Amino acid sequence: MYIPKSFQFDNPAEKIDFMRRYPFAAMVTVAGNQPLATHLPFVVEEKGRKLILSSHFAAGNDQTQYIEANPSLIIFCEPHAYISPRHYDKRESVPTWDYIAVHAYGKCRIERDVDTKLTLLEKMIRFYEPDYLHQWASLSNRFKMGMLNGLVAFTLEVTELRGQRKLSQNKTVAERTRIIRQLEGSAVGAEQDLAHYIHQTLK
């Protein structure tokens, strides 16, 4: 990822927090000369000094054939928004797009052990909807095993984590203030979130 100096996002803890706040990401793996991508929800865990991402594919997804042999890139990118040049002081200006992105790199391990798969699935439930755990616990083993058989669970140990916050830092305070006002008034939640992040650049 090309990261201009003005937009560097280097704080590891903040990148991890961002991934947890926006955990739905695109996972890209190269198979020969063909990149394959799947959009997946992730669980982000810190284990000592290691950062572990986990999720699962549908069993019929061809990408699973390549994730252990080849490195993968997981792209977390949200929120983002179009930025109009009408907010800028200079008439000779062009539109742009503001966003935050974190790229996680690493190799996957497919978790084939049934107990491990079950543990990973329950971690995902606990993260996304803990109230569902009670219902999940009451379901039959036959049903649970049927669900697990339809999934390919995996973990990825992150070997590199790169981030970018393109939040109009190269614009003046007055220009950013106008951008924030526009985004705060949007009916789109992601644009309201982006306004919050741009506001942080004023501090």
pLDDT tens readout for residues 132-180: 999 999 999 999 999 999 999 999 999 999 999 999 999 999 999 999 9
Counting every residue written for the chain, the total comes to: 203
pLDDT tens readout for residues 106-141: 999 999 999 999 999 999 999 999 999 999 999 999
**pLDDT attached to residue 32:** 87
Angle at 143 between CA 139 and CA 148, to 5 degrees: 115
**pLDDT attached to residue 66:** 96
Percentage, residues of the chain above pLDDT 70: 100
**pLDDT attached to residue 105:** 98
**pLDDT attached to residue 61:** 97
**pLDDT attached to residue 189:** 95
Q: Is the pLDDT of residue 186 over 90?
A: yes
**pLDDT attached to residue 67:** 97
Q: How many CA atoms lie within 13 A of 30 on its CB side?
A: 7
pLDDT tens readout for residues 13-57: 999 999 999 999 999 999 988 999 999 999 999 999 999 999 999
Q: Give yes or no for a cis peptide into 85 (omega within 30° of 0).
A: no
Q: Is the pLDDT of residue 183 over 90?
A: yes
64: tokens are 């699973």
CA gap 178, 88 in Å, rounded: 8
pLDDT tens readout for residues 188-203: 999 999 999 999 999 8
Percentage, residues of the chain above pLDDT 90: 98
The pTM of this model reads 0.93
- Could you give the domains of the chain? 5-85+97-170 (2.30.110.10)
